[in-house]
Amino acid sequence: MPFLHRDLAKDVFMEQPLGFIGPLYPTHVYKLDKSLYSLKQSPRAWYTKLSNSLLYLGFVTSKNDSFLFIYHSSYGLLLVLVYVDDIIVIGSHSTQVIRDDNTVNEDSSAGHPNIPLLVYVSREKRPSHPHHFKAGALNTLLRVSGIISNAPHVLVLDCDFFCNDPSSARQAMCFHLDSKISCSLAFVQFPQKFHNFSMNDIYDGRLRSVFEMKCPGMDGHQGPMLSGTCFYIKRAALYGNVGEVKDPLQLKQYFGPSNGLIKSLGQSYPCKVIEDGSFSTRLQQETQFLASCSYEEHTKWGEEIGFLYNSVLEDYFTGFILHCKGWNSIYYSPPRPAFLGTATSNLNDTLVQGRRWYCGLLQVTFSRFCPPIYGLLRMSFLESMCYAHLALNPFSSFCLWCLATIPQLCLLNGIPIYPKASDSWFVIFSFVFFSSLLKHLKDVHSTGGSVQTWWNEERIWMMKSITSHFYGSLDGILKSVGMGEASFTPTNKAIQDDQVKLYQMGIFDFRTSTVLLAPLVTLVIFNMISLVGGVGRVMVAGCCDKLLGQIFLSFFIVAVNYPVIEGMILRRDKGRIPPSVALLSLALSMLFLISGSMVLMS
């Protein structure tokens, strides 16, 4: 909280960070316009504003501790202890905090913002009960908020995002309250923007192709997919066709046995949260019941109600089903980013994230909700093709594995698989290859990117395809046939200074697991061997016309993945490729070369 405070009492200047040093003015400094993180002036300004607000609302400062604020009311005593970015609130009764928060809201005079009712929910988890990862947590919040505020619209925001523009709610409501589209509008999706990405974004942390190409394109049909964060969604869309069900017993079969939640279904915002002390006690007991691990048993939560559980990629699956039910969505990208988050700034987080996404996509593909089949009958053709493209994209990793191994293996054994360079068919093969690269370059340029951005995206796409996407696809296939269990590995939210420094300098940090790193290094080494062997064969045998296509393909893969070669041979920092991984990959390359050659020669 304090580190996001924007009002600073004094001017703050900072040196130019690595990767952002202006070539014409290398000695200049930046004047801070808005504080984000780790600035001494920001907590001071935030504390001053907070303390003034507490004193205005009737709190008094303790004589023994200037950071302790005391509030006396008819209900008892309320203590607020503030230390840097930590706030401890203590009441004389278990419901004191809720009571006094409500009292302060009602007593606040016009012109001063009310203190919002903040409820922290920690749901119950037990090994014997599936908790369904993020989707289960969202459904718990949906139930608890239903008996507290019952707001008709819900903002979903990941823990590594913050609100950059408070007017985002009003912007979203311009769509949700529009009488022409409101009845069919499920959610308003804002793009994911990041405050920490480098201009030399080597990991494609911006997800440019998704939020600057795919989402605007889908917005021309039924709307964009759900992206997991930065969206305002209508509660009624997640509740399904509740208005058609009148029988309370049937409602309990869908929503569970909570009378408070069933009652909230027919209420309009706002609910009366606090009437007297006994109601607050019942409220606390009811919320604990709704957050219990066994509440969803024998209900439709995760199947027809709330965020759906069929995939670890709950956002994609839930958005897909909403569109199949006839709901629409809106993609809105304002000039000022509504939300800012933290982009992945190291290779490990990038690969872990990609593995989970591709596993989730294949879980949907191999279910009865397969987008090319299920979606084609329930939504527009073009919208279903957009979902089908995403759902089937994991299979491209297997194609890339073939492209990075089979031509190279044949090259080492002198077997041409492409037309001769003098053959007219060679022009067609070359056209297909280069047109795909030029199409990608055009897309990057149309969204304000550079040639360097295009090259970085080509590299990280190749890296992710043969590592995390390949493993994610295998996970999805194994889980679909019952040979694996669903897993949800979140990305690391902690930021390490040395990793950030490498990222800002455009240098890869290869500190990740051997399982993820070894396939990448193995293929790069194998293509290096293929390139050297192919060039040597051409120089000796003079068969350049037959093997030119395969030699160029090996050269292209080696050139794109030059940072891997640099990490193996030239670097000595902590982010280099460990020698043990390089040796293991070399052994795997030789094993594949020998076994593959034996198969080709047999």
Annotated binding residues, as ranges? 134, 158
For residue 273, give the 3-state DSSP assignment. coil
In sequence order, the 6+-apart residues with CB closer than 8 A to the CB of 567 are 508, 510, 575, 576, 577
Residues in the chain, how many? 602
Q: In what order do the strands lie in the sheet with 231-234?
A: 153-156, 231-234, 185-189, 328-331
Rounded to 10 deg, the angle between the 381-392 and 347-365 helix axes is 120
Locate 228 and state its tokens: 């997991």
Rounded to 10 deg, the angle between the 424-446 and 451-466 helix axes is 110
For residue 571, give the 3-state DSSP assignment. coil
Say how many C-beta atoms besides its own lie within 10 A of residue 183's C-beta: 10
Backbone phi, psi, residue 532, to 5°? -65, -45
CB 143 within 8 A of CB 290: yes
| DSSP code per residue over 24-89 | S-TT-EEEPSS--SS-SHHHHHHHHHHHHHHHHTT-EE-SS-TTEEEEEETTEEEEEEEETTEEEE
Half-sphere exposure of 485 (CA within 13 A, CB side): 5
| DSSP code per residue over 350-374 | HHHHHHHHHHHHHHHHTSTT-IIII
- Residue of 269, 295, 320, 304 lying closest to 154 (CA atoms): 269
Determine the Cα–Cα distance for residues 308 and 601; give it in Å rounded to an integer. Answer: 51
Locate 164 and state its tokens: 């950059």
- Supply the Cα-derived Rg of the chain in whole angstroms: 28
- Residue of 232, 385, 394, 373 lying closest to 313 (CA atoms): 394
Determine the Cα–Cα distance for residues 13 and 21; give it in Å rounded to an integer. Answer: 15
Determine the Cα–Cα distance for residues 308 and 136; give it in Å rounded to an integer. Answer: 9
> What Å distances lie between residue 368 and 215, 265, 598, CA to CA?
25, 30, 42
| DSSP code per residue over 180-202 | TTGGGEEEEEPP-EESS--SS-T
- Beta partners for 329? 187
Determine the Cα–Cα distance for residues 341 and 211; give it in Å rounded to an integer. Answer: 14
Determine the Cα–Cα distance for residues 386 and 510; give it in Å rounded to an integer. Answer: 33
User: Binding site for Mn(2+): what residues are annotated?
Assistant: 134, 158
DSSP-derived secondary structure letter, 301 = B
Determine the Cα–Cα distance for residues 144 and 138; give it in Å rounded to an integer. Answer: 10
Rounded to 10 deg, the angle between the 347-365 and 468-480 helix axes is 30
